[in-house]
């Protein structure tokens, strides 16, 4: 009876939540706070995934709107930014 092994996503999520709840019940309060902080971190990252990477052409266009550049000007600007980042990294090491 192969269909007995099928489970819905909801069933899997319920099982995960049940297992997690059992583990959480065994943790002391300070560790529960760490778990809560980590969950908050994961949730904040989830929101940021849709944003373009800082310094990327997409992020710059999002920040500055419909700015127009001459042919190759944006690439030159991004190259300058990358060069400055690399210089800054060398200065901090």
| Residue 53, pLDDT score | 74
Q: How many CA atoms lie within 13 A of 33 on its CB side?
A: 3
Contacts of 88 (CB under 8 A, 6+ apart): none
Taken in order 89, 90, 92, 93, the sign of the CA dihedral is positive
pTM score > 0.75 for this model? no
Sketch the domain layout of the chain as residue ranges: 9-50, 51-93
Separation CA 75–CA 69 (nearest Å): 10
Give the pLDDT confidence of 68-92 residue by residue, as tens digits: 778 888 888 889 999 999 998 888 7
Give the pLDDT confidence of 1-46 residue by residue, as tens digits: 444 454 566 688 888 999 999 999 999 999 999 999 998 888 887 6
């Amino acid at each position: 009876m192969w269909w007995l092994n099928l489970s819905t996503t909801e069933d899997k999520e319920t099982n995960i939540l049940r297992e997690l709840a059992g583990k959480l019940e065994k943790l002391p309060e300070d560790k529960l706070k760490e778990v809560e902080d980590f969950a908050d971190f994961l949730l904040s990252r989830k929101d940021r995934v849709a944003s373009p990477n800082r310094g990327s052409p997409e992020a710059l266009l999002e920040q500055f709107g419909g700015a127009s550049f001459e042919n190759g000007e944006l690439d030159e600007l991004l190259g300058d930014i990358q060069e400055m980042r690399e210089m800054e990294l060398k200065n901090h090491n």
